[in-house]
Structure 1
Amino acid sequence: MSFTEGDMRIPLLFSKNRRHNFQFSGIVCLSLGIFAFDCFIPVGIGIGNLYILVILATLRLQTPLMTKGAVLSSILLILLGYWLSPTGPGHEVAIITRWLSIFCVVITGFIVLRNLSAQHAIQVLKEDLETKVDLRTRELKERNRATLNLLDDLEQAKQHLEDKERRLRLLIDAFPSGMLIVDHLGKIVFANKLIKTLFGYSEKELVGQPVDRLVPERLQHEHSHHRTGFAHDPTARAMGAGRDLFARRKDGSEFPVEIGLNPISTPEGLLVLSSVVDITARKQTESKVKRLNHQLMAQNQELEAYTYAVSHDLRTPLRAIHNYADFLIEDFPSNVPPEQQEFLKGITTAVCEAEELVSDLLELARLNVQESPPQLNDIGDLIQKILHGLHIENDVDIRTPPEWPPVIGHGHLLKQIFQNLISNGVKFNRSSPKKIEVHWRKEKNGFVRFSISDNGIGILPQYQDKIFQIFERLHTTREYEGTGIGLALVKKSVSKLGGEMSVESEIGKGSIFSFTVPMGENTHDE
């Protein structure tokens, strides 16, 4: 069972009041006793000094008002005792004695009042001191509690930071590339596990050491110069852009690296976070790919030269066969039976197709030969020459724009593109009239897009990618003549010019062939 401070204070207050009343009653009784004693003795005997005991007794009450009352009442009782006491000899001495008693009472009262005043001052100082001590104690307790809370918060913050640092170290250690942190003096302040694996150093061997220790000796001076330049302009970038970088292991061996730099500003100065990647495997792969590409280019050149030579050499026997067949038809028109004449005409037709095939193969082979620098071409003039050479029939309606853009490229490649697409639009067309339209528009990437549309037979969707392959034909030579190389020539010519080729087609409605080529200066939009 517990009591509050107020509950405990009430009994103490009652006890203090009872004790005060008892002391007051004792003082009153003492005063009355001295007075009664004074009244029954002769007047000459001065017992007024006994009232000093009454004055002294008020010290226990610690009440100045009570002491003053006791002094006044004692003086009154001394004088009253003089008048009420029996008369006797020594009247004058009695008066002097009474006045001496009054004087002693007054002096005693004064001393007691001074003592009470001093005790009161001491009590006030004591209470004030106790109040201040209590406040100070309470303040110190609050500060102590706040300090303890602050220490707890600091401990938790420390643990939190240690956890973050531990997680950050685990994260950096798990990073797939080596991570280094270097200060503004070029000293290593942190290195992850992969750095230790790449260079063969322990953490103690790296931290605090100059980063030049990881650079080959022949490159250290240049590296120091570049590091100073980076400190003047710290921006996130790749180190040594356009140059081959090398690092040095603990055993002195070198290996190619790729390094990224990222500056970090701190109160202690500039720190540089560097990522280091060992690109030995990549360099080996690049070297292997370069060697294979060189071999492939050499083989392609040999194959192209062989194709060109074979195609060129085939022309002579094909021309001889064609001429001999013509001689037989011309020299012996009556002696050769009609059936054999048909055979000779078949030979002549087959030889013409073979010559056309050889010509297309030669054109395809020429595309792979090293070209001269591209020139600015007038497409309008080129189209007119192509139309004149194709001998367009009267039922063909070809529409071209009034203005043409200048195009950068090789003239013979552009001729192959336009000539094949226009002739195909006429050849694979059963409409009447046959309509061919040529349009162009400017692209955003510095290219111009040409489109050639027709109202021909169209192409099924599943064949729209195959038609650009060499010798790929969708119809027999009896239906439509040709070698199956034309669109392959177009596709390769567009690719040589750096453009792209596409087709949109619908059966029975026609096709739209589009391609892009580099555009020259001073162009005009359609």
Structure 2
Amino acid sequence: MEADKEPSVRSANAAFKSDSNKFNIIVDSVPNGLIVVDQRGEILMCNAEMEKLFGYDKGELLGQSLEILVPREVRSNHVGHRTGFFAHPSKRQMGAGRDLRGIRKDGSEIPVEIGLNPLETEQGNFVVASVVDITERKKMDLMLLRAYDEVQQKNLEMEQFVYTVSHDLKAPLVTSSSYISFLREDLQAGRYNDLIDSLERVEKANKKMHELIYDLLQLSRTSRMELKVASINLTMLINEIKKDLKDQLDDKKTDLIIPADLPVVLGDAKRLTQVFENLVINGLKYAAVGETNTIEIVQNETEKEWNIGVKDNGPGIPPQYHKKIFALFQRLDTQKEGTGVGLTIVSRIMGLHGGRAWVESEPPHGATFWLCFPKQPQFKENRDGIH
């Protein structure tokens, strides 16, 4: 019986191929890939878009097994799926909830969406498959997902901002108002010796508010800054920072150690100065707690990037805070000066340079704040553009 079936299948395929010539003009005009397959998985017809999609020359796919278009690791399972479809044919979308991939002639893979439609004829049963390349859709989905994550992050930062405005900015205002009342009372009572203390407290509160407003303005500028990209010698750049911060380094009895062989990177000199200055100042605030302190610039190199670290010999940072400290308005020690904005600015500027920032630390052995500089950076667009 099986021997009798084989000639009939061949004649059916031949008849189908003969009839299909009438539809070549129509199917070649369809923008999706179209392919017709018999029960054995032999490709009987495909349009020009299908050949283009998978990188084959005209007519090269005809007579081939359908599994030639399926990734190797799933070919054996695919044969069973094909057999099951012909046993219970129906219109359907393949792989609902799963990522489907096709393999091109050159071995590369593409994400695809496939619709199946059974075709019953006098010559036998076939399946027509419509294949769509969804590479661009995948890219768009990824972009939308990233945009959603960014919006969520912005919403979180906005909540933190509102809290800061209502709390951190309000606090020095309340302090100033209180001591202004004391000043008025002292003046009226003639207690001139008490005026100095009240004035100093008002001055301190105003200074704190000024610092917070300044840092918030700096942070807002990172979302619309204009990057003027040039080659930057990091050794020279950090040495200039050392000169500018000499008084603060001396006051904290801190030595800033800078290697002479730091790499030349692409970036905005002004913004990268801001990055390294923030990290050095951060070390002076939180790590320079001994009689003698060091902040050392360290480096390592991989095939695709340079990593530059700002290392201190302070008390270190517990692991649970390694990510938190880069978030807006986060400070581990609220008794120290600062607003909790500096490290957020560092992270954002490095992001605009196609890099990233992170910290490594094992208390009490200090901390190293790392900056990644890609050797072939992809600078991120911003509102004002990049020069």
* Category of TM-score, reference length = shorter chain: 0.5 to 0.7
- Per the TM alignment, residue 474 of structure 1 is displaced from its structure 2 partner at its CA by 1.2
Q: How does 1:96-111 map to 2 (within 5 A)?
A: none
Equivalent residue number for residue 482 of structure 1: 338
Which aligned pairs between 1:315-394 and structure 2 lie closer than 5 A?
337-390=192-245, 391=247, 392-393=249-250
Q: Distance in 2 between matches of 1:436 and 1:421?
A: 10
2:325 aligns to what? 467
Q: Amino acid of the residue matched to residue 231 of structure 1?
A: D
Q: CA offsets per residue over residues 159-210 of structure 1, 9 Å max, x none?
A: 9x97xxx9xxxxxxxxxxxxxxxxxxxxxx69xxxxxxxxxxxx97997244
Q: Is this contact kept in 1: 2:256–2:296, CA < 8 A? A: yes
Equivalent residue runs for 1:70-469 within 5 Å: 158=3, 208-209=20-21, 210-216=23-29, 230-231=56-57, 276-278=130-132, 286=140, 337-390=192-245, 391=247, 392-393=249-250, 395-428=253-286, 429-445=288-304, 447-469=305-327
For residues 85-123 of structure 1, give each alpha carbon's deviation from its aligned partner in whole angstroms, at most 9, with x where no partner exists: xxxxxxxxxxxxxxxxxxxxxxxxxxxxxxxxxxxxxxx
Aligned AA for 1:348?
E
1:374-430 alpha-carbon deviations (Å, 9 max, x no partner): 221121221122112222216212211122211111123211221111112222131
CA contact (8 A) 2:279 2:369 kept: yes
Q: CA deviation at 1:217?
A: 6.9
Q: Offset at 1:513?
A: 1.3
Q: Deviations over 1:423-443 (max 9, x none)?
A: 122221312210111112222
1:358 to partner: Cα distance = 1.4
Structure 1 residues 351-382: Cα deviation after superposition (integer angstroms, max 9, x where no partner): 11111111111111111115245221121221
| Pairwise CA distance, 1:291 | 12
Percentage identity across paired residues of the two chains: 25
C-alpha distance in structure 2 between counterparts of 1:212 and 1:336, whole Å:
102
* Structure 2 stretches lacking a partner, 5+ long: 34-46, 62-67, 71-99, 106-126, 378-387
Aligned mates of 2:278, 2:289 — CA distance in 1: 18
Task: Tell me: CA distance 1:284–1:377, structure 2 relative to 1, closer, same or farther (3 Å).
Answer: closer
Shift of 1:468: 0.8
Which amino acid in structure 1 is aligned with residue 217 of structure 2?
A: L
CA distance in 1, matches of 2:280, 2:290: 15
Q: Distance in 2 between matches of 1:458 and 1:284?
A: 42
Equivalent in 488, 502, 506 of residue 362 of structure 2 = 506
CA deviation after TM superposition for structure 1 residue 509, in Å? 2.1
Counterpart-to-counterpart distance in 1, 2:328 and 2:101: 46
Deviates most, 480-489 or 380-389: 380-389
Query: Could you tell me how far 1:444 is from its partner in structure 2?
Result: 0.9
Q: Which amino acid aligns with 2:264?
A: P
2:231 partner letter? L
In structure 1, the gaps of 5 or more residues are 1-154, 167-188, 191-202, 239-257, 264-272, 522-526
Distance 1:431 1:410 in 2: 34
Distance 1:411 1:335 in 2: 55
Distance 1:348 1:206, change over 3 A: farther
**CA displacement at 1:262 relative to structure 2:** 5.5
- The residue number in structure 2 matching 1:80 is none
Q: What is the distance in 1 between the residues matched to 2:290 and 2:262?
A: 28
Secondary structure (helix, strand or coil) at the match of 1:476 reads: coil
Partner Cα distance (1:354, 1:473) in 2: 16
Report the Cα offset of residue 337 of structure 1: 3.5
> Quick one: distance in 2 between partners of 1:499 and 1:285?
21
The letter for the 2-side match of 1:491 is S
TM-score, normalization: structure 2? 0.56
Q: 1:495 to 1:262 in 2, by over 3 A?
A: closer
Q: In structure 2, how many angstroms separate the alpha carbons of the residues matched to 1:501 and 1:231? A: 48
Quickly say closer, same or farther: Cα 1:453–1:354, change in 2 above 3 A: same
Letter in 2 for 1:502: W
Q: Which has the higher contact order (CA 8 A, sep 6+)?
A: 2
Q: Which residue of 2 aligns with 1:182?
A: none
Name the aligned partner's letter for residue 131 of structure 2: V
**Whole-Å separation in 2 of the counterparts to 1:409 and 1:284:** 31
Q: Which has the higher helix share?
A: 1
Q: Note the alpha carbon deviations across 1:233-291, whole angstroms, 9 max, x for none.
A: 969899xxxxxxxxxxxxxxxxxxx995767xxxxxxxxx99643579x9699599769
Q: Distance in 2 between matches of 1:412 and 1:227?
A: 52
Q: Is residue 378–residue 404 contact of structure 1 (8 Å, CA) maintained in 2?
A: yes
- Looking at structure 2, the residues matched to 508 and 365 of structure 1 have their Cα atoms a distance apart, in angstroms, of 34
Displacement after TM superposition at 1:485 (Å): 0.8
Number of aligned pairs? 275
TM-superposed CA distance for 1:211, in Å, is 4.3
| Structure with greater strand share of residues | 2
Residue in 2 aligned with 1:491? 347
**Which amino acid in the other structure matches residue 503 of structure 1?**
V
| Offset from partner CA, 1:34-63 (integer Å, 9 cap, x none) | xxxxxxxxxxxxxxxxxxxxxxxxxxxxxx
Tell me: CA distance 1:400–1:475, structure 2 relative to 1, closer, same or farther (3 Å): same
In 2, Cα distance between equivalents of 1:464 and 1:284: 33
Which protein is bigger by CA-based radius of gyration?
A: 1
Q: Distance in 1 between matches of 2:25 and 2:101?
A: 14
Q: Once superposed, what is the RMSD of the aligned Cα atoms?
A: 5.2
Aligned AA (1:469): A
